[in-house]
């Protein structure tokens, strides 16, 4: 379903004491979606919310709220909308109780409220009780997207337009959290495009790196669409963090978002011819986990993945737990990369036979594959792997060790969380590395990716194949 930016007027009342709402019939999915919300009061400009920022979500006719923005509306469980658009919500906002009621389709203009900057028209039967005075108000809803886990356009009706939906994921900080599927719930945007190609060619799912800036991921998706694939770009960092680089946005969160996206694909879309996942840096480390036997047993959605491409790849240098070989994994690095060095995956291959993990190396440094970075140059970015190595034991706990042997952190005995992050910052995080597009390595890499996309068996003639 395309997004319709339709402003829908309803009615608002803040009341002190028990609330009596109009009768509403059984909940209906006719109006499912995400709605922005704000309200304006007739006789008191100071009471009006210019932009609450709160998002109301209707799914199956049941209304919930994301508790975002200035609104912080906490809804009672019986909030709903029926097939005719009759809506009734009750709950609390800050220290006041409120009720919102009316009909989402009612567009009758019965009055006009004017302030210095704008005029709002609509029904007027609501009020706010403030300082023992009653103030008439109007509520304004605007549909801004689909409900979480609703289906994007199907292959039969899709166009090349973008379709952004939300999936319900979790803040699974560690691999142990991921194994137990623990963590606070979070809504994550997934941007689908070219879904008409999903059955004939397949789907490429692009996971994010450690930054809310999604320009790399947009470039990856564009190239995969050029190869004929439908694409799904997961926006996982932005709901959680706004910093450019944060150790608190973990690869396990990236994997949990991938699992949520695979669930939606499996339940709502035609079966893809193939599923390919791609990600860079921290996203690449998340992709490395799709072959972990224990994670695949607890999250069988991961078994749907056919191929995985780790760009600017990093690997643990030892992995001692169970491993599955029915997914083709490719690690891609620039040979001069001194940030996510090719050496970590090379070291892993020396410690264990992983026949489905194939190393690709090309000329260039970090971000050798993305032309938006310009020529290779020294930058002030942060990195960990040149200073410290990662090792995973049989129980999926991580040991992080200084390469000079001076210090280490075992998560199985010392735990994770803020103490680990503080230790990482002092012990492993360093600044400065080479970064930029390589005009030889970049095109060679994308030529190899096309072969990976097109061939049902792992191609043996990849230009970057190292071992």
Residue 90 inside a domain? The answer is yes
Q: Is 129 within the bounds of a domain? A: yes
What range does the domain containing 108 cover?
7-145
Residue where one domain finishes, among candidates 85, 118, 145: 145
- The DSSP string of 160-176 is SS-EEEEEEEE---SHH
Helix (H) or strand (E) holding 256: helix 251-268
CA distance 423 to 280: 24
**Whether residue 346 sits in one domain with residue 447:** yes
- State the pLDDT at residue 48: 61
240 and 114 both lie in a single domain = no
The residue behind tokens 């799709």 is 290
Residue 151 inside a domain? The answer is no
Alpha-carbon distance values, 427 to 249, 405, 430 (Å): 18, 12, 9
Measured distance CA(418)–CA(401) in Å, rounded: 18
Question: Do 64 and 174 belong together in one domain?
Answer: no
Asked whether 137 and 12 are in contact (CB, 8 A), the reply is yes
- Which pair of tokens denotes residue 47? 């009471």
Largest CA distance in the chain: 79
pLDDT of residue 427: 95
pLDDT value, residue 126: 40
Query: Please, what is the angle between helix 441-454 and helix 215-226, to 10°?
Result: 50
Count Cβ atoms within 10 A of the Cβ of residue 309 and give its class: 0-12 exposed, 13-18 middle, 19 or more buried.
Answer: buried
CA dihedral 370, 373, 379, 383 (to 10 degrees): -30
Q: Cβ–Cβ contacts within 10 Å for residue 238, how many?
A: 15
- Give the residue ranges of DSSP H helices in 340-439: 343-351, 411-414, 418-427
Domain count, the chain: 2
Same domain, 43 and 84: yes
CATH assignment at residue 370? 3.40.50.1820
Q: Is the pTM of this model over 0.85?
A: no
384 within a domain of the structure (yes/no): no
d(CA 149, CA 151): 6
Examine the domain organization and report whether 82 and 114 are in the same domain: yes
Given 145, 177, 196, which residue is the final one in a domain?
Answer: 145
Amino acid 113: pLDDT: 42
In this prediction, residue 53 carries a pLDDT of 58
* Cβ-defined contacts of 377-381 (< 8 Å, 24+): 377/434, 377/435, 377/436, 378/432, 378/433, 378/434, 378/435, 379/432, 379/433, 379/434, 379/435, 380/431, 380/432, 381/245, 381/339, 381/431, 381/432, 381/433, 381/435
Q: Tell me what pLDDT residue 345 has.
A: 95
Q: Is residue 355 one of the residues assigned to a domain?
A: yes
Element spanning 153, H or E = none
Shared domain check, 108 and 82:
yes
Tens place of pLDDT for every residue, the chain, 467 residues?
Answer: 333 333 333 334 333 334 456 678 888 888 888 887 766 666 665 656 554 556 788 888 888 876 555 456 677 778 888 888 888 887 776 666 667 777 777 655 444 444 445 554 554 334 444 455 555 666 667 777 777 766 675 433 344 567 888 888 999 999 999 999 999 888 888 999 999 999 999 999 999 988 778 889 999 999 999 999 999 999 988 777 654 345 578 899 999 999 999 999 998 899 999 999 999 999 999 999 999 999 999 999 999 999 999 999 999 999 999 999 999 999 999 999 988 999 999 999 999 999 999 999 999 999 999 888 888 888 877 788 889 999 999 999 999 999 999 999 999 999 998 899 899 999 998 888 888 999 999 999 999 999 999 998 889 899 999 96
pLDDT at 223: 96
Tell whether 140 and 168 lie within a shared domain. no
Q: Are residues 334 and 368 in the same domain?
A: yes
pLDDT attached to residue 110: 42
357 and 277 assigned to the same domain: yes
Torsion of Cα atoms, 6 then 10 then 16 then 21, to 10° = -120
Distance CA 261, CA 372 (A): 27
């Amino acid at each position: 379903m395309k997004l319709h930016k339709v402003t829908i007027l309803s009615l608002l009342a803040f009341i002190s004491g028990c609330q009596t709402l109009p009768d509403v019939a059984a909940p209906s999915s006719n109006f499912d979606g995400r709605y922005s919300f704000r309200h304006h009061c007739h006789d008191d400009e100071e009471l009006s919310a210019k932009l609450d920022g709160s998002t109301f979500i209707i799914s199956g006719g049941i209304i919930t709220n994301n508790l975002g923005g200035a609104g912080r509306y906490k809804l009672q469980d019986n909030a709903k909308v029926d097939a005719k658009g009759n809506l009734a919500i009750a709950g609390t906002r800050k220290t006041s109780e409120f009720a919102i009621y009316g009909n989402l389709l009612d567009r009758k203009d019965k009055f006009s409220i004017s302030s210095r900057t704008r005029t709002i028209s609509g029904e007027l039967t609501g009020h706010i009780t403030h300082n023992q005075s009653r103030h008439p108000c109007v509520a304004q809803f605007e549909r801004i997207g689909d409900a979480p886990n609703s289906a994007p356009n199907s292959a039969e009706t899709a166009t090349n337009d973008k379709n952004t939906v939300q999936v319900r994921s979790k803040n699974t900080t560690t691999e142990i959290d991921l194994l137990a599927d623990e963590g606070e719930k979070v809504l994550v945007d997934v941007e689908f495009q070219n879904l008409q190609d999903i059955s004939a060619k397949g789907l490429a799912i692009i996971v994010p790196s450690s930054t809310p800036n999604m320009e790399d991921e947009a470039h990856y998706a564009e190239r995969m669409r050029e190869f004929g694939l439908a694409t799904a770009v997961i926006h996982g960092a932005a709901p959680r963090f706004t910093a450019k680089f944060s150790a608190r946005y973990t690869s396990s969160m990236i994997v949990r978002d991938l699992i949520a996206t695979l669930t939606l694909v499996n339940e709502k879309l035609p079966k893809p011819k193939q599923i390919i996942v791609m990600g860079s840096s921290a996203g690449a480390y998340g992709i490395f986990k799709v072959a972990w036997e224990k994670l695949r047993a607890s999250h069988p959605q991961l078994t749907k993945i056919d191929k995985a491409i780790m760009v600017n790849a990093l690997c643990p240098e030892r992995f001692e737990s169970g491993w599955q070989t029915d997914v083709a994994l490719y690690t891609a690095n620039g040979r001069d990369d001194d940030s996510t060095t090719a050496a970590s995956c090379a070291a892993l291959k020396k410690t264990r036979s992983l026949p489905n993990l194939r190393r690709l190396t090309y000329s260039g440094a970090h971000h050798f594959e993305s032309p938006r970075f310009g020529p290779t140059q020294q930058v002030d970015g942060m990195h960990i792997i040149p200073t410290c190595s990662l090792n995973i034991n049989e129980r999926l706990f991580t040991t992080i060790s200084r390469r000079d042997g001076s210090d280490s952190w075992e998560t199985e005995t010392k735990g994770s969380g803020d103490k680990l992050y503080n230790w990482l910052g002092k012990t492993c995080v360093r600044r400065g590395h080479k970064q930029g597009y390589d005009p030889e390595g970049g095109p060679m890499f994308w030529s190899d990716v096309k072969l990976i996309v097109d061939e049902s068996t792992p191609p043996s003639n990849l230009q970057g194949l190292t071992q």
